[in-house]
């Protein structure tokens, strides 16, 4: 969340940030809630000060034989005690109201984030690779998967429901190969591998910004008040929740495989076929904890690390800077990496790499300290998909398809796959 002190000291910066996002957030109402909270704190402090003074005066008055004055002060102390209790109750309500308001405010976009209303106004940063020119009519990955017998959404719909998939045979092996290749690549590049739990509590979802705003997009287990994770960002970022890190160890870099679960409540009718938009999918995530002064340089490195696996796979892609109107709730700046999909005849998002600055760290209380006499500061957190597995499999099927219906396995995956080609089944 944003720091209430920063909102108080520079409300115009926050207002401009919300306007840039095209969000109607009443910052004046937040400041009024803060004024009420501070007034209640001041009143309580004043009453406690009076109470302390009175408690010191009463023994002296009794010693001097001034019993009536002592009794009057005792009565006043009882009244003060009742008033303090009532004020404390109001203060708890005011603090909770202010916290709820702060939790609903998105992050302020970094000054380098372009203005814009939606994804049509994102800015292309670079393209890598050239989309393949086919000498035959290319097929969509869902058709390729069905003909090869490696994807089966129909049986998954029978077993579970829409937007789920069975992977079969070499399809399942391809998914597993991509996961292993990604993890091996990132760990070789200095990331520590973590295998996180796929269920998290409400505090963890709140810490990374999924709650309260996106609760409708999450799979919730009511009995335990636990959530299936929408991304490994949630458990891995919360790995250091409520901790003070050693500044000498920063940056800390983690990579994690997880299954991801999303209701996709607001995406009815979008990408309903294939692997692009599923309720359950696999992903390898990259998470960093860094010094505030280094976070934007670390964002560039993080994006480069995510690109590394696409380059090794030989998949054409581009990097775009998200405009303020398309920026995620918790992010101060995001690069999307989009892979070329022949069936769409366009680039499709396969990774988002974001700098949250201290927004998540403040919600999750993740701080660092250089030495015993140094001030404790909030870290900056970053994360990026390194990258989405299902979308990578879809991109491989489409970009490496052959005229006879088979799919060539990218060179870097052949050691994991044990084959060079996924062949058409023999009839």
- Residues marked as catalytic: 262, 277, 349, 352, 391
Task: Report d(CA 342, CA 318) in Å as an integer.
Answer: 14
Reduced to 3 states (helix: H, G, I; strand: E, B; else coil), residue 76 is: helix
DSSP β-bridge partners for residue 128: 317
Closest-CA residue to 235 (of 248, 226, 223): 226
Residues whose CB is less than 8 angstroms from the CB of residue 226 and which lie 6 or more positions away in sequence, other chains included: 199, 200, 201, 220
Task: Report d(CA 48, CA 108) in Å as an integer.
Answer: 38
Q: Which element (helix H / strand E) includes 84?
A: helix 67-103
Residues whose CB is less than 8 angstroms from the CB of residue 361 and which lie 6 or more positions away in sequence, other chains included: 367, 378, 379, 380, 381
Q: Rounded to whole angstroms, what are the CA distances from 321 to 122, 148, 284, 381, 391?
A: 6, 37, 21, 18, 20
Which residue is it, tokens 């993080």? 302
CB 88 within 8 A of CB 58: no
How many C-beta atoms surround the C-beta of residue 159 within 10 A?
A: 10
In the chain, the N- to C-terminal Cα span, in Å, equals 59
Burial class (CB in 10 A: 0-12, 13-18, 19+), 395: buried
52 Ramachandran zone, left/alpha/beta (phi>0; psi -120 to 50):
alpha
Closest-CA residue to 258 (of 352, 182, 361, 158): 182
């Amino acid at each position: 969340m944003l720091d209430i002190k920063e909102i108080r000291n520079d409300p115009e910066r926050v207002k401009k940030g919300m306007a840039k996002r095209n969000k109607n957030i009443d910052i004046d109402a937040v400041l009024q809630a803060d004024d009420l909270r501070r007034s209640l704190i001041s009143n309580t402090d004043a009453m406690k000060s009076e109470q302390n003074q009175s408690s010191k005066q009463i023994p002296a008055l009794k010693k001097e034989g001034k019993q009536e004055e002592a009794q009057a002060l005792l009565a006043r102390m009882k009244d003060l005690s009742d008033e303090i209790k009532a004020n404390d109750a109001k203060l708890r309500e005011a603090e909770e109201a202010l916290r709820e308001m702060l939790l609903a405010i998105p992050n302020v976009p970094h000054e380098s984030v372009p203005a814009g209303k939606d994804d049509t106004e994102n800015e292309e940063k670079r393209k890598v690779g050239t989309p393949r020119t086919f000498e035959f009519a290319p097929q969509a990955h869902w058709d390729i998967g069905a003909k090869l017998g490696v994807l089966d959404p129909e049986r998954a719909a029978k077993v579970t429901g829409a937007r789920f998939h069975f992977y079969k045979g070499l399809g399942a092996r391809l998914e597993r190969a991509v996961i292993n290749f990604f993890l091996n690549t990132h760990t070789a590049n200095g990331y520590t591998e973590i295998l996180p739990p796929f269920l998290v509590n409400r505090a963890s979802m709140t810490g990374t910004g999924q709650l309260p705003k996106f609760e409708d997009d999450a799979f919730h287990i009511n009995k335990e008040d636990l959530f299936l994770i929408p991304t490994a960002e949630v458990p891995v970022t919360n790995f250091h929740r409520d901790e003070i890190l050693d500044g000498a160890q920063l940056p800390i870099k983690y990579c994690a495989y997880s299954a991801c679960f999303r209701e996709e409540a607001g995406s009815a009718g979008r990408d309903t076929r294939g692997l692009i938009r599923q309720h359950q999918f696999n992903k390898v995530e990259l998470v960093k904890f860094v010094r505030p002064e280094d976070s934007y340089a670390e964002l560039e490195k993080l994006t480069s690390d995510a690109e590394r696996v696409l380059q090794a796979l030989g998949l054409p892609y581009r990097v775009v800077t998200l405009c303020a109107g398309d920026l995620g709730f918790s992010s101060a700046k995001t690069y999307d990496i989009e892979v070329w999909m022949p069936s769409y005849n366009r680039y499709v998002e396969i990774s988002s790499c974001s700098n949250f600055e201290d927004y998540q760290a403040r919600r999750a209380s993740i701080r660092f300290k250089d030495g015993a006499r140094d001030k404790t500061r909030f870290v900056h957190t970053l994360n990026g998909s390194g990258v989405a597995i299902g979308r990578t499999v879809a991109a491989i099927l489409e970009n490496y398809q052959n005229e006879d219906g088979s799919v060539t396995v990218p060179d870097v995956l052949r050691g994991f796959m044990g084959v060079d080609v996924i062949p058409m089944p023999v009839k």
